[in-house]
Amino acid sequence: MRLRDRGSQRGAGLVLIIGIIAALAVMASSVVILSGNVQHNTYRDRMQKTAFNVAEAAMDAGMYMLAFEWPFTASHVQPDFDEDAFRDQYPEDEFPAPENGEPFVTVQYYDNPMSVAAGVPSTPLPPDPSVTWDANGDNQLWLVVQVGVGPSTTRIQSLVEVDFLESRLPRGIALFSEGDIDSSGVGGGVMPKVAVEVPPSSGDATSVYAGGVIAPADVIASNIVGFAGTTKTLEDIFPTTLVDTLAIIAEKHGRYFETVDEALASPVDPIYSPQGGVSGLTVINAAPAETVRITANTVVNSEEHPGLLMVLGGGQLELRGNMHYYGTIFCEGVVSTAAGTPTVHGMLLTMATADLNGTCNVLYNDRCIVEIDDEYPDLVQQVPNTWREIQPVFD
């Protein structure tokens, strides 16, 4: 082969090598670009999922906020979602701030208005976000949450409703004492002292239970069945789980007190203490040796809005004055009515002795047992089939 032919072949090989190198370079560049796109898309997908998960957490936190203080009226204290405290739970290196400058989280709630006319089914009206309370009284509100994380923003909404505590108190029990029921002493008062004001609607008999004796027997009316020496305990009537639940609700809403003076001086709360003082839900956890003395000459609560008074710690509860208390009184110590003419309309329960001395009355009122289940919010939950992911809103 001639030298000139060999040189031309070497030139062709060089062109081929250059072509291969160029192709590899293009492929490498494509791989780099593809890898970058994949990483970018993976980051966006991850941030989108992160924003969605945080929004779900904010929805739960918003429901807890509303459970803490459901806005039943325009004048009631409006719940306030602490956005800063919520943000502090999510470190910025894992949950970067929104790139568009919007807040990390916003939580809104407003009423779901309904137009109601006589004889006409309710029809929905456009929601008005400025109505931040339960204006139509159906115990439902819209809860709307928006969360931004890095390049992604998620907005979700759900109709939520408040669920009330169901005490499941037994009906038909006027008085329960794990000790004696005593009506002896000076100023024994007019008999009977335990009577029926509003009987159970089922027609069941009204009862009185005592772990000890009932003395004298005519302290209870003839149409009330007396069970002296019962083996029932207060746990059967007013279980510990209910005591604990009520104590938690009371503490959460400023209705849990260490002394009776604190309770008597407590302010009005539209839901939990409509008259202030010992009205509504009141829990007093006093020292065992302390006497919780309540002297009043007023009507506390009502048939429509009965109360729950719990005296924990084993101290004695002493009712004085001409107070009319509508609701249920629960005491872990002795209950005494030594002075005045106090009247309990509802149910009286004690782990110790019930000293019905003086001129007092325990009048079983079935309405006060039934209506208590509509008084105190317990939790807020989503209304089924109302959750939606919606278009984010930007300022």
* pLDDT band, very low/low/confident/very high, at 374 (cuts 50, 70, 90): confident
- In the chain, the percentage of residues whose pLDDT exceeds 70 is 85
The stretch 350-375 carries a mean pLDDT of: 93
Do 123 and 254 fall within a single domain?
Answer: no
Do 64 and 180 fall within a single domain?
Answer: no
Q: Are strands 140-149 and 324-331 parallel, antiparallel or unpaired?
A: unpaired
Do 330 and 215 fall within a single domain?
Answer: yes
**pLDDT of 16 over the 80 cut:** no
Query: Considering the domain boundaries, does residue 158 fall inside one?
Result: yes
Do 202 and 303 fall within a single domain?
Answer: yes
The stretch 257-262 carries a mean pLDDT of: 95
Alpha helices in 206-293 (DSSP H): 234-237, 240-252, 260-264
More confident residue, 377 or 19: 377
Do 248 and 184 fall within a single domain?
Answer: yes
**84: which 2 tokens?**
């800063």
CB 291 within 8 A of CB 316: yes
Burial group, residue 176, by CB count within 10 angstroms (0-12, 13-18, 19+): buried
The stretch 177-204 carries a mean pLDDT of: 84
- For residue range 302-327, what is the model confidence (pLDDT) as tens digits? 999 999 999 999 999 999 999 999 99
CA 373 to chain centre: 13
- For residue range 219-235, what is the model confidence (pLDDT) as tens digits? 999 999 999 999 999 99
**pLDDT of 118 over the 50 cut:** no
**pLDDT of 202 over the 90 cut:** no
Query: Considering the domain boundaries, does residue 47 fall inside one?
Result: no
**356: which 2 tokens?**
């019905």
The stretch 90-100 carries a mean pLDDT of: 94
Do 214 and 145 fall within a single domain?
Answer: no
Do 86 and 179 fall within a single domain?
Answer: no
Do 73 and 158 fall within a single domain?
Answer: yes
pLDDT at 35: 53
Segment among 58-62, 96-100, 119-123, 189-193 with least mean pLDDT: 119-123
**203: which 2 tokens?**
């027609």
pLDDT at 191: 87
More confident residue, 20 or 279: 279
**pLDDT of 117 over the 50 cut:** no
Query: Considering the domain boundaries, does residue 32 fall inside one?
Result: no
Left, alpha or beta for 225 (phi > 0: left; psi -120 to 50: alpha)?
beta
Q: Are strands 214-215 and 335-336 parallel, antiparallel or unpaired?
A: unpaired
**pLDDT of 145 over the 70 cut:** yes
Q: Are strands 316-321 and 291-296 parallel, antiparallel or unpaired?
A: parallel
| Domain, as residue range, for 132 | 55-163+379-390
Segment among 119-123, 272-276, 279-283 with least mean pLDDT: 119-123
* pLDDT band, very low/low/confident/very high, at 93 (cuts 50, 70, 90): very high
**Length of the chain in residues, anyone?**
395
DSSP notation for 247-262: HHHHHHTT-EESSHHH
Of residues 161, 163, 162, 158, the one with CA closest to residue 58: 158
Domain count of the fold of the chain: 2
Q: Cβ–Cβ contacts within 10 Å for residue 81, how many?
A: 19
Gap between the Cα atoms of 258 and 264, Å rounded: 11
Query: Considering the domain boundaries, does residue 354 fall inside one?
Result: yes
pLDDT at 87: 96
- For residue range 286-301, what is the model confidence (pLDDT) as tens digits? 988 889 999 889 999 9
Query: Considering the domain boundaries, does residue 146 fall inside one?
Result: yes
Average pLDDT, the chain: 88
* pLDDT band, very low/low/confident/very high, at 4 (cuts 50, 70, 90): low
Query: Considering the domain boundaries, does residue 9 fall inside one?
Result: no
**pLDDT of 85 over the 80 cut:** yes
Do 144 and 286 fall within a single domain?
Answer: no
Kindly report the backbone phi and psi dihedral angles of residue 369, in degrees, each rounded to the nearest multiple of 5, phi listed first: -85, -40
- For residue range 237-259, what is the model confidence (pLDDT) as tens digits? 999 999 999 999 999 899 999 99
Gap between the Cα atoms of 371 and 328, Å rounded: 11
Of residues 377, 389, 379, the one with CA closest to residue 158: 389
Q: Are strands 377-382 and 152-164 parallel, antiparallel or unpaired?
A: antiparallel
The stretch 181-186 carries a mean pLDDT of: 75
pLDDT at 69: 86
Do 122 and 199 fall within a single domain?
Answer: no
pLDDT at 329: 98
* pLDDT band, very low/low/confident/very high, at 149 (cuts 50, 70, 90): very high
The stretch 150-158 carries a mean pLDDT of: 95
The stretch 361-386 carries a mean pLDDT of: 93
Do 231 and 114 fall within a single domain?
Answer: no
- For residue range 330-359, what is the model confidence (pLDDT) as tens digits? 999 999 987 789 999 999 999 999 999 888
